[in-house]
Amino acid sequence: ETGVTQTPRHLVMGMTNKKSLKCEQHLGHNAMYWYKQSAKKPLELMFVYSLEERVENNSVPSRFSPECPNSSHLFLHLHTLQPEDSALYLCASGQGISSYNEQFFGPGTRLTVL
Amino acid sequence: GESVGLHLPTLSVQEGDNSIINCAYSNSASDYFIWYKQESGKGPQFIIDIRSNMDKRQGQRVTVLLNKTVKHLSLQIAATQPGDSAVYFCAENQSGFFDMRFGAGTRLTVKP
């Protein structure tokens, strides 16, 4: 257990569905991240929140919408996804740029878009 | 663009042998490096890190070597065990920046 939990662990959705991924960290960190992991590709950073404010958005399509209501919770809202969005979505937390940026990962949500 | 990459996508070793996984990086401003291990169905797990003011760091059965001259990072696993079978990622970060860039990963398979 890394102190970062994600739900659901698996999600299958149609292209017209709306769903949300949830991440919670119990480590007292002040930064949270969403990554996308596709087969045979490096981890791709999607969003970064520091102190509940979005500080980075790596040209992610608007069909992905993040939300960070507090420093312990992070959501990724999904709507009108495409089959190529099927991947493992990983959440991570860390202390942010105030220190060397070790990040702790959750187990991920395996998303399949039909 | 600058990237973090791994030399080999797969590595197969016998149980008990030592394993060496290599990584090249190209951002000379990176000053913090991490090795992660990812087992099937799990998220990446921190193994060991090293800062750019060091060239070697040892943990339990693992050693990370950093060669800043050639921008090369390696992970050495001593007496490799079946439980070490996983995908290993190197990652680099420049202090003051949030994003951590990851290599594609090397799959380590340990044969009994």
- Contacts A–B by Cβ distance under 8 A: 62
A:23-42 residues touching chain B, CB 8 A cutoff: 31, 33, 40-42
Statement: residue B7 has pLDDT above 60: no
Strand partners, B87: B38, B107
Helix (H, G, I), strand (E, B) or coil at A83: helix
Contacts of A107 in chain B (CB under 8 A): 41-43
Q: Give the tokens for residue A72.
A: 């312990």
Rounded to whole angstroms, the Cα distance separating B71 from B43 reads 26
Taking an 8 Å cut-off on Cβ atoms, the answer to whether B44 and A102 are in contact is no
Nearest alpha carbon to residue B51 among B69, B68, B76: B68
Residue in A86, A95, A73, A83 with CA at minimum distance from that of residue A24: A73
**pLDDT of res. B6:** 43
Q: What is the C-alpha separation between A97 and A70, in angstroms, rounded?
A: 18
**Cα distance from A83 to chain B (closest Cα, Å)?**
21
Averaged pLDDT, A41-64: 85
Condensed to tens digits (0 to 9), the pLDDT of residues A70-113 reads: 999 999 999 999 999 999 999 999 886 655 668 899 999 999 99
The alpha-carbon gap from A105 to the nearest alpha carbon of chain B, in Å, equals 6
Q: What is the pLDDT of residues A96-106, one digit of tens each?
A: 665 566 889 99
Residue B1 has pLDDT above 90, yes or no: no
Mean pLDDT (whole number) for A48-55: 84
B51/A100 CB distance under 8 A: yes
Mean of the pLDDT values across residues A62-75?
94
- Determine the distance in angstroms separating the CA of B35 from the nearest CA of chain A, rounded to an integer: 10
Q: What is the pLDDT of residue A57?
A: 72
More confident residue, A39 or B28: B28
B61-108: per-residue pLDDT in tens?
Answer: 999 999 999 999 999 999 999 999 999 999 998 877 777 888 888 999
Q: Taking 50 as the threshold, does the pLDDT of residue A24 lie above it?
A: yes
